[in-house]
Amino acid sequence: MFLNCGQLLPPLLRHADVPARITESFILSGYRFPNYSLAQCLLSAFRPTNETGNFWTHFLPVFIFAFYFLEPFCLEGAPPTGDPFFYPLWNYFMGVLCLLMASSMAHLLNSMSLVIREVCFFVDYGTISAYTVGSSLAYYYYIHPRAGILELRIGRHNNTHQDPSSSSSSLSSAMPEFSVFFETLYIPSSCLVAIICVLACCNTRQRWRTYRYIIRTLVFLLPFLVASTPIFYRLLHSSPYLPTSSSFSSSSSMTQFFCRHCFWLVVSALFNISKIPERLSPGRFDIWGHSHQWFHVCTFLSILDELHMINGEVRAILLHPVLVVPPATPPHLPGPTLASTYGVMLVLQASIASIIAWFSWCANSIYKPQGVQLEKEFLTKRHLKCH
């Protein structure tokens, strides 16, 4: 298949034969000139280019993620898949799915033109930001310090029922310093930070290009810190669950998966900034094994551990004997609704789409004339070489 694709597609080029705009540091060969048709781009997924590995390392994980995502729906006694309890989980799924698909398609289709290349990566940055808000929704409803806790049915020291008002007051005293942030500012803050990230990352394609990899990596550190505040709180304070063996198991699993999630994010950032291994041997890792492929692998491993962490908390809420699945009774922490989950994501996506449209319009005015001229020069050079 790889041999047949090589015969049907234009020859691959070295970094000196393509516009400087599309070259990557320390990658010397395997480039596609930005004049491919859609069919040629799709076919190039089966041809060894310097983008082939970038495509497959985020396309294949879609199926792995989907497989593990279905786990909570198979739990005994779980609500139907369309139940409001699962709204945040579905939003998280859509965020991850869009991230993986946009990333893989951006690397596959970016050789259609200089303008389309810019648009592809603008969409890529937008889906990363949307994913962080999808994570925030899942954290809010499943890992929030009061997630799933509507009323305590069993006392800490005896098996008698507590008065609802005393139960509510004990919950309020558990996190007084963060209650306002968690319940009113957490999701809006995540959305605001996501929009800032899209603006900053899109700007790195038109300015700040010398430090673009550092800026993009550091910019996405901010939404991680904001989104992870419920987890930091849970790790630094006592568990909201009653001290049973299942609660301790849930807390331990969350700590383990979150630490692994952070580890893979740090490793992916190091690959993205350092450009190792190709920096150590330019030209040797042009097709397979360069840093962006390892970056993709590590980011997916971080997402997979995050999914396991969220699934573990969903399992604890569904199966823990003293927890009530929202919104069975009027809780202090409101249960998920269409407006608070899908509505939030819809407004965010509309905002991101408008930002992408603006930057795409700017890119079209800048790069469309350049692309026409560069293609003429490329065809002239190739004609001269043939003669």
DSSP 347-363: HHHHHHHHHHHHHHHHH
Pick from 348, 336, 293, 363: nearest CA to 129? 348
91 Cα distance to chain centroid: 12
Is 39 within 8 Å of 77 (Cβ atoms)? no
What letter would DSSP give residue 32?
-
List C-alpha distances in Å: 287 to 124, 204, 278, 283, 298.
22, 25, 10, 9, 18
Pick from 119, 111, 117: nearest CA to 10? 111
185 Cα distance to chain centroid: 21
**H helices then E strands: how many in the chain?**
15, 0
Which residues are annotated as part of the binding site for Zn(2+)?
107, 292, 296
Pick from 265, 253, 260: nearest CA to 314? 253
Establish whether the linkage from the previous residue to 327 is cis, with ω within 30° of 0. Answer: yes
Residue 131 to residue 127: CA distance in whole angstroms: 6
Burial class (CB in 10 A: 0-12, 13-18, 19+), 184: exposed
**Residue 14: strand, helix, or coil:** coil
Which residues are annotated as part of the binding site?
107, 292, 296
